[in-house]
């Protein structure tokens, strides 16, 4: 008894299509990664008293501190506000990168890629 696999349902042509789709996704992801690395993100804390800018490589580009926040008697508050601003800008960069990569993997329709609960 011979079993015939319909065209596109598997076999060599189905595998070639999957490989082509995977290659396209890999190229799109590489291009998006490059774009994300050059993007700049900004976040503030302490009601705007500290403003942090960072690029997608998570390199700190600038840190602005309003002079009235600087109190030699209260360095702890200054430190806390700086940490909060830096953590927020990192979160923004990571959330953006994850969302952009999800768009690529989700649109390709690959099992386990962009489909919640698959892994």
Question: Is 2 a member of any domain?
Answer: no
**H, E, C per residue of the chain:** CCCCCCCCCCHHHHHHHHHHHHHHHHHHHHHHHHHHHHCEEEEEECCCCEEEEEECCCCEEEEEECHHHCCCCCHHHHHHHHHHHHHHHHHHHHHHHHHHHHHHHHHHCCCCCCCCCCC
Question: Which residue would you say has higher pLDDT here, 112 or 60?
Answer: 60
Residue 3, beta-bridge partner list:
none
Mean of per-residue pLDDT scores for the chain: 85
Total tally of structural domains belonging to the chain: 1
Q: Beta-carbon neighbour count of residue 89 at 10 Å?
A: 25
* pTM over the 0.85 mark: no
pLDDT in tens, 40-97: 999 999 999 999 999 999 999 999 999 999 999 999 999 999 999 999 999 999 999 9
What is residue 114's predicted lDDT score, i.e. its pLDDT? Answer: 46
d(C-alpha 88, C-alpha 86), whole Å: 5
pLDDT level of residue 117 (50, 70, 90 thresholds): very low
pLDDT of residue 118: 39
Its domain, for residue 94, covers 35-106
70 is a domain residue: yes
Of 29, 61, 64, give the one whose Cα is nearest residue 50. 64
pLDDT bucket at 10, cuts 50 / 70 / 90: low
Q: What is the pLDDT of residue 13?
A: 78
Q: How many CA atoms lie within 13 A of 59 on its CB side?
A: 7
Report the percentage of the chain scoring pLDDT > 90.
Answer: 60
Q: Decide if 5 is inside a domain.
A: no
In a domain, 21, yes or no: no
Q: What is the CATH number of the domain that holds 73?
A: 3.30.1310.10
């Amino acid at each position: 008894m011979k079993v015939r696999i319909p065209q596109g349902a598997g076999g060599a042509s189905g595998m070639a299509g999957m490989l082509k789709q995977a290659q396209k996704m890999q190229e799109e992801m590489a291009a998006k990664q490059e774009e994300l690395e050059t993007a700049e993100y900004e976040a503030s804390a302490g009601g705007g008293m500290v403003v942090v800018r960072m690029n997608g490589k998570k390199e700190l580009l600038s840190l602005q501190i309003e002079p009235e926040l600087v109190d030699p008697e209260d360095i702890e508050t200054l430190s806390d506000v700086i940490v909060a601003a830096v953590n927020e800008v990192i979160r923004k960069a990571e959330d953006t990168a994850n969302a952009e990569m999800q768009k690529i993997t989700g649109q390709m329709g690959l099992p386990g890629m962009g489909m919640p609960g698959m892994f």
